Amino acid sequence: MHARDQPILQENIRHCLAKLRHVLLDMDGTIYSGSRLFPFTLKFLADLTEAHIGYTFLTNNCSRSVEQYVQKLRGLGIMADADSLLTSMHATVFYLRHHHPRIKRLFVLGTDGLKSDLAAAGFQMACGDASGGEPEAVVVGFDTQLTYANLCAAAWWVKRGKLFIATHPDVFCPTDQPTLLVDCGAVTRCIEEAAGRRADAVLGKPHETMIQPILERWELLSDQAVMVGDRLTTDVRMGQQAGLLSVLVLTGDAVRDDIERLGVQPDLVVEDLEQLGRLIAQSRGGAR
């Protein structure tokens, strides 16, 4: 298919786009790459607003605080606020509040930004040496400030049976720089091997707790929202598991050959958000 050819939409997909109320947008690889905003992103968002369609940005990367992400988006020209952003930190808070409401004291492998967001959500941060009290749970995030001492402390508490949560499964973080950013999933596996037990929960995309807060907040039915992202095993799979229309964009991690290789079939594949925007406009025009 030529890069600018429009996909032929099945009737159920056209119907979903016609009554669309909210778009869940992955960030890196979907609206930008590293520090570079895609040229079609701002128009796509403006067109959604004009059509009275809401949107929320989602990312598994919790190494930045919500406020730091807001500042990054605004620096790229996107007028975002804290209410328009969801990270795997939010999924972790949602999970703890719904499944382990008594847990308040956490040992966190994560950046200062992650810790500050968890503290703002009402959790206490425990030290690795148990000074001031033992943690009730270990939370492993994308820790760009990781030290060997803290890694060993986390493994120690996990070995002793503390609740063991990973904020998200990604083993590497995308970057436009010449390096490989070791992410939460890889560190989680290290602790699992050292402690001899698996994580009790691996949250973030594709876990359904990543989507549930958005559906509840905006009172959305599953056929009123779409999940858009560049990764098949996180973005697309999560949308499918939550019953949402799932759209793969080819501006980031995945290429078309990955669909058969990974066995994950999106409802819709588009070259980029520009092409998706045209399909949404055409579907809504047809509905009128």
Mention the CATH class of domain 102-202: alpha beta
Task: Compute how many other C-beta atoms are within 10 angstroms of the C-beta atom of residue 36.
Answer: 9
Question: At 135, is the pLDDT very low, low, confident or very high (cuts 50, 70, 90)?
Answer: very high
pLDDT of residue 9: 85
| pLDDT tens profile 219-259 | 999 999 999 999 999 999 999 999 999 999 999 989 999 99
pLDDT of 4 strictly over 70: no
| pLDDT tens profile 248-288 | 999 998 999 999 999 999 999 999 999 999 999 999 984 43
Which tokens sit at 220? 């959305």
Residues of the chain with CATH 3.40.50.1000: 11-60+206-287, 102-202
Question: At 176, is the pLDDT very low, low, confident or very high (cuts 50, 70, 90)?
Answer: confident
φ, ψ of residue 154 in degrees (nearest 5): -60, -45
Domain 11-60+206-287 has CATH 3.40.50.1000: yes
Using left for φ > 0, alpha for ψ between -120 and 50, and beta otherwise, residue 78 falls in beta
pLDDT of residue 2: 46
CA 10, 14, 20, 23 dihedral sign is positive
Across residues 35-60, what is the average pLDDT?
96
